[in-house]
Chain A
Amino acid sequence: DAMVIQNPRYQVTQFGKPVTLSCSQTLNHNVMYWYQQKSSQAPKLLFHYYDKDFNNEADTPDNFQSRRPNTSFCFLDIRSPGLGDAAMYLCATSVDESYEQYFGPGTRLTVT
């Protein structure tokens, strides 16, 4: 059974057109993360939520925002996608920060 679900799996958006990616989890984990992964690179942490507490990485562009309306769901909003934002976006969860992270299948974003 899928534990971390991401929708959609593939998203095409136009340059500058806002896009929202979603993540849901059935694990009831406290922590949810968003990573950006470009081809042949390691995942790069954008931000995370510990419960309702939001933490932004220092180098995450302002163009990226996130919402976590409840324990199960977390959204990544890209306000004005640029060509450089084309990547795989991975959601992950963990029961606590020092425990294993479970990754979702990812959403591959294409910007045209």
Chain B
Amino acid sequence: GENVEQHPSTLSVQEGDSAVIKCTYSDSASNYFPWYKQELGKRPQLIIDIRSNVGEKKDQRIAVTLNKTAKHFSLHITETQPEDSAVYFCATLTPTGFQKLVFGTGTRLLVSP
């Protein structure tokens, strides 16, 4: 079945720096790649997603890039702010049968003022 690896597990940056989180997936047929942000004690919230027909998508300070050949996708956060501190999960949809989310293991991002 689909497998998603996520790195790093923790990431500490200074406010204003950029942060990059990377994920790799195993099934080349996967075609949907969402990113969720989860603050402590709260629900996962979709912050950006990308489908396999595009290589990059941007929304203000957040961008996602997809390399289907290499089977990896990355989240880029520019000009980080303390409120960006959270756990970020990448995910893919299993491409066959009923499509279910397969999550990465999560990255704890800490942005220091």
Contact = CB atoms under 8 A, between A and B. Distances in A.
Interface of A: 40-43, 45, 48, 50, 55, 90, 97-98, 100-106, 108
A90 B42 CA distance: 10
Given A42-B89, A55-B98, A90-B43, A98 B106 contact: no
A88 B32 CA distance: 26
B87 to A, nearest CB: 8
Nearest to A90: B43
B99 A97 contact: yes
A101 B106 CA distance: 17
Nearest to B46: A100
B42 A105 contact: yes
A40 to B, nearest CB: 7
Given A50-B98, A98-B93, A98-B99, A42 B106 contact: yes
21 contacts: A40-B106, A42-B105, A42-B106, A43-B44, A43-B103, A45-B101, A50-B98, A55-B98, A90-B43, A90-B44, A97-B93, A97-B98, A98-B32, A98-B99, A100-B46, A100-B49, A101-B46, A101-B101, A103-B44, A104-B43, A106-B43
Interface in B25-41: 32, 34, 41
Interface in B88-112: 89, 93, 98-101, 103-106, 108
B45 interface: yes
